Amino acid sequence: MQKQKSNFGLYDASFEHDSCGVGFVALINGHAEHSIISDGITILKNLSHRGAVGGDQKTGDGAGLLSAVP
């Protein structure tokens, strides 16, 4: 029997879906650094098993990197 996940802080179990993967990277000091981009790309590479790559290994599902333009 699975244990029911309870709401804690900003987490709401009703938003949980199978096969979804989200990565979030932020610098709280407010400085723009290239490490944020490289960390985001690493997250994308690590999410390929969650469906970010199509069956032909050449197309994707729209997974990508979103950033602000400084």
Supply the residues annotated as catalytic. Answer: 20
Return the residue matching tokens 């979030």: 24
DSSP for 25-51 reads: ---TT----HHHHHHHHHHHHHTGGGT
> Three-class SS of residue 8?
strand
